[in-house]
């Protein structure tokens, strides 16, 4: 009950009471009768001057209507009333009888009782109202109100409310496929029960924020046409102990009454964190709530038609008991979309909006790597807002382009006035990045370079991969280091001293090279060893830095190797710029003139730049000599060699005969039994976080540790920017997948250039590189 409602209710009660009181006063006939002494009244009775008598026994009062008026206080009255003492009512009665008048005995309740009710009850009502009101406020005005402690906060959305369908969810085909089964369970439970299949009770959706988990859950309800209860994990845990548990009970009760239905628990990690975890002892209330949740999930049968869906960003911190079969045994990863997914999501959100026909949504999908569905939705919306602001009625390609930059780097800083010299430094800095990237053999071409200030950045150069990548070779990482150092090298080469503008480049380069050494084992000197262990914070559930598990001697070696890598990159960048000094000048001049250069402008200017040879300084194999035998060819490569079409065209699907029900598909329920109750894909490192494209503000995850995916945290962001600034979009990346992990919602990416592990040019291993996009992704992924 909110305050407004409470006030309204109070007002209604007050008005009713007032009305009753007024009515009783009006109705009170006493007002007509003139009060007289008892003796006067008795005299009238004995004189038989009475037309009618009314005896109010309870009030000990007689009311007389006289035949002839008597004088009372100097006025003639025909209606008089008098009190009489108790004990004489019999006498009064007899007198009335003998007077010959009509008489009536009245036991009046109204007036007296109503008055006492008002006198006693009204203050109580007011006090209670005040008490409720205060309690309500103390409780923060929770929907339940003071009497609703245990009442579930889940608001039931009416059956037709989730109008969302699977068509509204793009780029999450695997998840949709899995969830379609759930929809089928809800719609045709009998078919599954006939086969003795147990319908899963719980489905856990996990993945980075904004990937459409809530959207998917709603879509299941929308498709199945069942009610959708939603509650956030944190709603369970409230100020009164024991409330959470009763909330759970209540929620399930409500759901069972309305089955089939879906309960959606958002942010389940708020209640579902491992019991006993946390500093300073566990959280009793939370644990009780969790226990109740576990009990309830066990409690309802397979046939009750209630399916609990939950979403979390942190499956790894969930209590194992939640994930065991019979509870959330279905775990569906929802990851950031791949390139095709991004295009599809953009298309979904562009639907119904007046997009200019020449706007390149496909290109937009390509240049937004690492963005989540929510980010992409935001891009389209920003573009619409920009268009509206300019009073145009068609969303153009430029508006979309600008919207992407806005979403990544913040609004453009038009008002900033910088000196001509500073502009020149920025232009050379960005040209340095661009030229360095262009000359490196393993980098994607620069998509765009600008010296326009945006958000905190002074400008940026942006490399956009042709395709999403999940693996990065040492050469690519080195190339990124070279690109990162390009800006700094340009400043030194041209202006003979560095500026503060390179700080974020340096920061980024350090992260890349440190990750190369301590995480990816890319330094021959230190070997393929993981140095330092990431630590999770039991409270925040976030990485909290790493613990040192190596000797200080090794630490010194790591530092030396990290510096070595950066030094090598720096030297390389310097050499590139020095060799192409004239091109650098032309590029900087063009940038100063046009402020933003796109790929085609760059192609013209950088046409004559020769690619550098691979950096071989770090290729040390020791006694392990790489084999000279080349790897086998993939079916795709062979097909292309034979001049055949690849992938082969799928045969036209034969239309299903109408009227015949489809053969029930046995639900592959235990297809992926979770191991040790832990989510299989549960390593949080598997997602590619949006910070791939640069965490516009920080460039890198704050804790220096990737939250979702190793390569992304340290993943080199290819965008290089200027001035105290952070990298913007870059080459974000898809998180590297752990061996055995299934690509979460992502189709395998092909690798445009052959990845290089630092082995001689033509070396490769069986099964590598992976096929061109084929449908057999399980085989490819499964084994590694």
Ligand X SMILES: Nc1ncnc2c1ncn2[C@@H]1O[C@H](COP(=O)(O)OP(=O)(O)OP(=O)(O)O)[C@@H](O)[C@H]1O
Residues marked active site are found at 430
Burial of 478 (0-12, 13-18, 19+ CB in 10 A): buried
Pick from Zn ion, ligand X, none: which does 487 bind, CB < 5 to 8 A by kind? Answer: Zn ion
| 211 is a site residue for ligand X (CB under 6 A) | yes
Stretch that binds Zn ion, among 41-49, 118-126, 469-477, 483-491 (CB under 5 A): 483-491
Q: Which is nearer to ligand X, 486 or 692 (CB)?
A: 692
The whole-angstrom distance between residue 43's C-alpha and the CA centroid of its chain comes to 90
For residues 288 and 294, give the distance between their C-alpha atoms in angstroms, rounded to a whole number. 10
CB of 133 to Zn ion, least distance (A): 59
CB of 567 to ligand X, least distance (A): 41
Distances (CA, A) of 658 to 221, 223, 238: 26, 21, 54
Pick from Zn ion, ligand X, none: which does 720 bind, CB < 5 to 8 A by kind? Answer: Zn ion
Position with the least CB separation from Zn ion: 487
Q: Contacting Zn ion (CB under 5 A), which of 401, 505, 519, 534?
A: 505
For residues 372 and 503, give the distance between their C-alpha atoms in angstroms, rounded to a whole number. 28
What's the sign of the alpha-carbon dihedral 563, 566, 569, 575? negative
Stretch that binds ligand X, among 372-380, 392-400, 556-564, 658-666 (CB under 6 A): 372-380
Q: At what angle do helices 38-46 and 89-98 cross, to 10 degrees?
A: 30
Q: Which is nearer to ligand X, 213 or 330 (CB)?
A: 213
CB of 212 to ligand X, least distance (A): 3
Q: Which is nearer to Zn ion, 344 or 573 (CB)?
A: 573
For residues 369 and 383, give the distance between their C-alpha atoms in angstroms, rounded to a whole number. 18
Q: Would you call 77 helix, strand, or coil by DSSP?
A: strand
Q: Which is nearer to Zn ion, 459 or 690 (CB)?
A: 459
Stretch that binds ligand X, among 228-236, 318-326, 373-381, 698-706 (CB under 6 A): 373-381
For residues 512 and 500, give the distance between their C-alpha atoms in angstroms, rounded to a whole number. 20
x/- letters, 191..210, toward ligand X (CB under 6 A): ------------------xx
Cα angle for residues 257, 246, 146 (degrees, 5° grid)? 105
For residues 540 and 544, give the distance between their C-alpha atoms in angstroms, rounded to a whole number. 9
Annotated binding site for ATP: 207-214
CB atoms within 10 A of CB 153: 17
Q: Per CB under 5 A, which of residues 247..286 are in contact with Zn ion?
A: none
| 677 is a site residue for ligand X (CB under 6 A) | no
Interface with ligand X: number of residues (CB under 6 A): 19
Pick from ligand X, Zn ion, none: which does 518 bind, CB < 5 to 8 A by kind? Answer: none
CB of 271 to ligand X, least distance (A): 15
Q: Contacting Zn ion (CB under 5 A), which of 455, 487, 682, 706?
A: 487
Q: Per CB under 6 A, which of residues 284..343 are in contact with ligand X?
A: 311, 313
Q: Which two tokens stand for residue 436?
A: 């360095």
Position with the least CB separation from ligand X: 373
| 179 is a site residue for ligand X (CB under 6 A) | no
Q: Which two tokens stand for residue 92?
A: 């009064």
Annotated binding site for Zn(2+): 429, 433, 505
CA neighbours within 13 Å on the CB side: how many for 743? Answer: 22
Residues sharing a CB contact under 8 Å with residue 691, sequence separation 6 or more, in sequence order: 370, 698, 699, 700, 701, 707, 712, 713, 732
Residues sharing a CB contact under 8 Å with residue 373, sequence separation 6 or more, in sequence order: 170, 171, 172, 210, 211, 212, 215, 336, 337, 345
CB of 745 to ligand X, least distance (A): 9
Q: Which is nearer to ligand X, 378 or 721 (CB)?
A: 378
Q: Which two tokens stand for residue 164?
A: 């969302």
Annotated binding site: 207-214, 429, 433, 505
| 720 is a site residue for Zn ion (CB under 5 A) | yes
Q: Contacting ligand X (CB under 6 A), which of 169, 248, 318, 426?
A: 169
Binding site for Zn ion (CB under 5 A): 487, 505, 720, 722
């Amino acid at each position: 009950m909110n305050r407004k409602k409470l006030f309204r209710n109070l007002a209604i009660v007050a008005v009713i009471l007032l009305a009753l009181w007024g009515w009783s006063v009006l109705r009170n006939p006493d007002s007509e009768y003139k009060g007289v002494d008892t003796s006067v009244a008795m005299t009238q009775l004995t004189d038989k001057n009475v037309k009618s008598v009314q005896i109010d026994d309870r009030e000990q009062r007689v009311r007389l209507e006289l035949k002839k008026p008597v004088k009372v206080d100097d006025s003639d009255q025909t209606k008089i009333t008098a009190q009489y003492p108790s004990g004489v009512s019999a006498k009064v009665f007899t007198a009335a009888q003998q007077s010959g008048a009509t008489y009536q005995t009245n036991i009046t309740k109204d007036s007296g009782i109503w008055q006492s009710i008002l006198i006693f009850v009204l203050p109580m009502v007011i006090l209670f109202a005040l008490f409720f009101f205060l309690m309500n406020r103390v409780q923060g005005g929770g929907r339940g109100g003071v009497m609703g402690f245990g009442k579930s906060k889940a608001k039931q959305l009416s059956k037709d409310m989730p109008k969302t369908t699977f068509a509204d969810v793009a780029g999450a085909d695997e998840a949709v496929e899995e969830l379609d089964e759930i929809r089928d369970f809800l719609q045709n439970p009998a078919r599954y029960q006939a086969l003795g299949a147990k319908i899963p009770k719980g489905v856990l959706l996990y993945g980075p924020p904004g990937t459409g988990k809530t959207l998917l859950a709603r879509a299941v309800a929308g498709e199945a046409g069942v009610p959708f209860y939603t509650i956030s994990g944190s709603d369970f845990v409230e100020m009164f102990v024991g409330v959470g548990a009763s909330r759970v009970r209540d929620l399930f009760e409500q759901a069972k009454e309305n089955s089939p239905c879906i309960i959606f628990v958002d942010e389940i990690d708020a209640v579902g964190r491992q019991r006993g975890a946390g500093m300073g002892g566990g959280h009793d209330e939370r644990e009780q709530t969790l226990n109740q949740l576990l009990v309830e999930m066990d409690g309802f049968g397979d046939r009750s038609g209630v399916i609990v869906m939950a979403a979390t960003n942190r499956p790894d911190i969930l209590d194992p008991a939640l994930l065991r079969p019979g509870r959330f045994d279905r775990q569906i990863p929802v990851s950031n979309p791949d390139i095709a997914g991004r295009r599809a999501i953009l298309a979904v959100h562009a639907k119904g909006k007046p997009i200019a026909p020449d706007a390149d949504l496909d290109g937009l999908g390509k240049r937004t790597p690492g963005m989540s569905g929510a980010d992409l939705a935001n891009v389209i919306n920003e573009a619409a807002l920009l268009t509206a602001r300019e009073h145009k009625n068609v969303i153009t390609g430029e508006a979309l382009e600008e919207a992407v930059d806005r979403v990544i780097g913040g609004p453009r800083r038009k008002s900033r006035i910088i000196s001509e010299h500073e502009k020149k430094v920025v232009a050379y800095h960005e040209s340095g990045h661009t030229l360095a990237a262009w000359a490196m053999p393993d980098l994607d071409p620069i998509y765009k370079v600008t010296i326009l200030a945006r958000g905190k950045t002074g400008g940026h150069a942006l490399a956009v991969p042709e395709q999403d990548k999940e693996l990065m070779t040492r050469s690519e990482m080195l190339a990124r280091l070279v690109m990162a150092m390009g800006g700094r090298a340009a400043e030194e080469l041209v202006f003979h001293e560095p500026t503060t503008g390179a700080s974020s480049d340096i920061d980024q380069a350090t992260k890349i090279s440190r990750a190369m050494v301590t995480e990816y084992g890319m330094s021959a000197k230190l070997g393929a060893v993981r140095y330092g262990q990431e630590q999770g914070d039991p409270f925040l559930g976030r990485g909290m830095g790493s613990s040192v598990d190596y000797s200080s001697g090794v630490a010194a070696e790591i530092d030396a190797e990290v510096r070595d890598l950066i030094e090598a990159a720096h030297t390389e960048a310097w050499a590139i710029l020095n060799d192409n000094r004239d091109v650098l000048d032309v590029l900087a001049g063009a940038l100063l003139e046009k402020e933003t250069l796109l790929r085609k402008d760059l192609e013209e200017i950088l046409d004559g730049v020769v690619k550098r040879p691979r950096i071989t300084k770090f290729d040390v194999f020791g006694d392990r000599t790489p084999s000279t035998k080349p790897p086998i060819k993939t079916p795709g490569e062979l097909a292309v060699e034979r001049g055949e079409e690849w992938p082969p065209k799928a045969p036209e699907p034969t239309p299903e005969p109408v009227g015949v029900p489809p053969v029930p598909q046995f639900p592959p329920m235990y297809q992926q039994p979770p191991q040790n109750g832990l989510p299989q894909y549960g390593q949080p490192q598997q997602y590619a976080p949006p910070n791939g494209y640069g965490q516009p503000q920080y460039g890198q995850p704050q804790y220096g540790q990737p939250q979702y995916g190793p390569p992304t945290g340290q993943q080199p962001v290819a965008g290089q920017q200027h001035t105290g600034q952070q990298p913007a979009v870059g080459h974000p990346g898809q998180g590297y997948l752990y061996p055995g992990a299934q690509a979460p919602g992502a189709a395998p990416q092909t690798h445009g250039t052959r990845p290089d592990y630092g082995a001689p040019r033509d070396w490769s291993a069986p099964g590598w590189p992976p096929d061109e996009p084929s449908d057999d992704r399980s085989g490819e992924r499964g084994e590694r």
